[in-house]
Chain A
Amino acid sequence: MSLYEFVLANLMSGISIGGQYALIAIGYSMVYSILRLINFAHGDVFMLGGLFMVFLAATFPLWVAIPALIILIVALGFTIERVAYKPLRTAPRMSVMISAIGVSYLIQNLALYFTGGLNRMYPNIPWLSDPITVLGVTTRRVTVVTPFLVIALVFALVWLINNTKIGIGMRAAAKDFDTSQLMGIKINSVISMTFVIGSFLAAIGSILFFTSFPGVFPAAGAMPGLKAFVAAVFGGIGSIPGAVIGGLLIGVSETLIRGLDVILGPANLGIISRPLELATFSDAFTFILLIVVLVFKPTGLFGDKPTDKV
């Protein structure tokens, strides 16, 4: 494989993974902007999306399995909010985040129990998993489809937020939670809707993500979840385009870091003679990025400045 092909293949898969992170990131971002809650369970909901699909696809044809999966995950997201977060609405913020961590712990343990901790093969989704060749690089169709699908979904979402009553409610609640309640916004339905949308996107994301992933296991959602949150912070919490750009950046940089030794190595650029083995850092890099952003631009690329009143 030539250097050009290698870099292109890496870029393409980076963009695709990034798009998938972006879909998860939107859920984090919307929830955080309204409730100031890092929904630690969101990544695990995403993982369950993968796991449910394994079981659904084993019994139903895909045209039943995919809609059923989406409905299940949306219902799950809705239920988690109602059971685990809503009762704590007046509690300190730390309590709600602890509850989120508790939910994450519960979901992972449930998954562990039902799968026996084994890696489950993700079903082959015919059209998406088919190999195709683009610009001389052979990949799965999902890699090419993801960016377009993400863009379409984001446009739909932005339209929804700007033009529907519930969307205006979301923006108001994000701006000022208490006042929006006084203005007659039904805060509980706004919050539920936020979780519904977030879970819907996570369900779509799970289909795209696990199609090009070896399998589903109980902790499979933890790392993508954290990365997606970082993407949301990077782009600026509450900003949907920000979440997408953050996701893309993280996706691309992590694949490039994995391929760094090959690109710089003797076979290609010849800058290094010995591998740097920086691939260990492909996950950690996300967090390095996070810390750099939080130190130098805590509001992210497109975020609003929070004001503390004294």
Chain B
Amino acid sequence: MKKLSSANLITVLLLIVFFISLIVLEQLIAPTDRMNMLLVSLRQGSIFALLAVSMNLLNGFTGLFSLGHAGFMLIGAVTYAIFSIPLAYRDMVYLYYDYVIKVSFPEIFGNLLGGPGMMIGVLISIILAGLVTALIAFLVGLPVLRMRSDYLAIATLGFGEIIRAIIMWQGMGRITNGANPLRMFTRTDSFNITIGGYTFGLITFTLALLSAVGIFIILLLVTSSYGRAFKAIREDEIAAEAMGINLFKHKQLSFCISSFFAGTGGALIAIFMGTVAPIQFRAAMTYEFLLIVVLGGIGSITGSILGAMLFVFASMWWLRGLDSGAFLGLERITIFGVNLGEQVFVSGFRLVVFSVIIMCVVLFFRRGLMGDKELPYYVDKIRSKFKPTPKAGGVDA
């Protein structure tokens, strides 16, 4: 095994501290507390991070401008829900259809093994969600990945809509519940552990950990030989082919793996939200993830994670005041007879501010937060600021 460089070591330590603090925080903050927003944002932020990273694998590392993410997330979310609704509840969910799938993994394993079994069942459903999504992505990839770059964008966007239409179609109702939402499936409560009457809240930790595992696998992929081949395709398809890289096979690989994690991310979104309503998974959702990736820096995994966290924290929490009439005391200002608090900071303003920020990044800071660099690079950079080095030598990759 290669020895960890000190920058990597510091990064790993930072991550460990982050996860321990997640566990501690969840025990300290009661669900009714105002600070519970922090936990909710961390949960959603982690899942968004996985989804953004999986999109970055395709758009940033392989150079495929794909816009089908929302559709793939939907497949994952729906698959998870279908295989996780306890049988007893199915009649309440499938109000208009006779459901045909009568399997609930959390229930099966929960009955076998008790509490931990539930958890295993949830994991199995999540992985199944990823696999089903990857399989559909494989089929979608067959025609789409042979297209020119910009046609690929519009065709994947189209497939996102087609997938949504198929899931919402009444003909599929006995499986997907048509246009009606899926709900009452096993959720995050199964992540908590009860010991001696005291319940340890582990929801935030588990969701973050699951996302982190996914992100870590993508990180391993992009730093492997295959990851290098993906980057070669991004840089120059013709040269990559001349180096013996089978374009279609590698694109298909990247597409399926990215979709696998879009599917698992979709499953996590389902767990986080509690209902799956197909109508929400529109192209606009894909755009949001694309903008997160751009915000963080195309081609940087750390960037996508930071971008996702920023996006969620800003829209769920920090910029909330912009919608509800109080933001950093600015609400007291009145310009030209317009009071900011009452007339400007009303519902929807947050998103306007946010889109303006995004446009500024797109136009003026094209490299985003991290460019194509990762956290260890910046750890090194910051450290070198504190101790003067005699010469700027080559950075060890």
Contacts and interface: CB of A to CB of B under 8 A. Distances in A.
Task: Report if A and B touch in the complex (beta carbons < 8 A).
Answer: yes
Interface of A: 32, 36, 38, 83-84, 87-88, 91, 93-95, 97-99, 101-106, 108-110, 112-114, 116-117, 219, 222, 226, 229-230, 233, 276-278, 280-281, 283-284, 286-288, 290-291, 294-295, 298, 306, 308, 310
Nearest to B160: A287
A276 B356 CA distance: 44
A116 B355 contact: no
Interface in B149-164: 149-151, 153-155, 157-159, 161-162, 164
Contact of B283 (A222, A286, A310): A222
> Chain B at the A interface: mostly helix, strand, loop or mixed?
helix
Contacts of B65: 94, 97
A109 B238 contact: no
A290 B161 contact: no
Contacts of B158: 226, 230, 284, 286-288, 290-291
Contacts of A286: 158
Contact of A97 (B144, B150, B170, B179): B150
B165 to A, nearest CB: 4
Given A229-B154, A310-B238, A109 B168 contact: no
Closest A-B pairs by Cβ, 3 of them: A287-B158, A284-B165, A113-B348
Given A97-B65, A294-B147, A109 B352 contact: yes
Contact of B347 (A97, A98, A116): A116
A88 B363 CA distance: 7
Contact of A280 (B63, B170, B352): B170
Interface in B48-80: 59, 63, 65
A94 B149 CA distance: 9
B30 interface: no
B162 to A, nearest CB: 5
B155 A102 contact: no
A30 B291 CA distance: 26
A112 B348 contact: yes
B171 interface: yes
A108 B65 CA distance: 22
Contact of A283 (B59, B165, B170): B165
Given A104-B287, A283-B165, A298 B355 contact: no
B366 A91 contact: yes
Most B CB within 10 A of own CB, among A108, A290, A291 = A291
A38 B65 CA distance: 12
Contact of A277 (B143, B146, B171, B359): B171
A276 B359 CA distance: 44
Contacts of A32: 150
A298 B358 contact: no
A291 to B, nearest CB: 6
Most B CB within 10 A of own CB, among A93, A94, A283 = A94
A98 B362 contact: yes
A267 to B, nearest CB: 19
Nearest to A282: B165
B358 A288 contact: no
B348 A116 contact: yes
A290 B155 contact: yes
Interface bin, chain B: 35 or more
B289 to A, nearest CB: 11
18 contacts: A38-B153, A83-B363, A95-B362, A97-B65, A103-B359, A105-B284, A105-B358, A113-B348, A116-B348, A226-B158, A280-B168, A280-B170, A280-B179, A281-B165, A283-B161, A290-B154, A295-B143, A295-B146
Contacts of A298: 147-148, 151
B258 to A, nearest CB: 16
Contacts of A113: 346-349, 351-352
A102 B358 contact: yes
A70 to B, nearest CB: 26
Nearest to A309: B238
Nearest to A88: B363
Contacts of A83: 363
A99 B287 CA distance: 11
Nearest to B158: A287
Contacts of A106: 352, 355-356, 358-359
A276 B348 contact: no
Contacts of B150: 32, 36, 38, 93, 97
B169 A280 contact: yes
Contact of B351 (A94, A109, A281): A109
A294 B146 CA distance: 10
A283 B351 CA distance: 27
Nearest to A103: B359
Contacts of B366: 91, 95
A274 to B, nearest CB: 10
Contacts of B349: 113
Contacts of B363: 83-84, 87-88, 99
A241 to B, nearest CB: 21
B290 interface: yes
Given A108-B284, A284-B165, A277 B170 contact: yes
B306 interface: no
B348 A277 contact: no
B69 to A, nearest CB: 12
Given A97-B65, A105-B355, A226-B158, 5 more contacts: A94-B63, A103-B359, A219-B282, A280-B165, A288-B162
A71 to B, nearest CB: 24
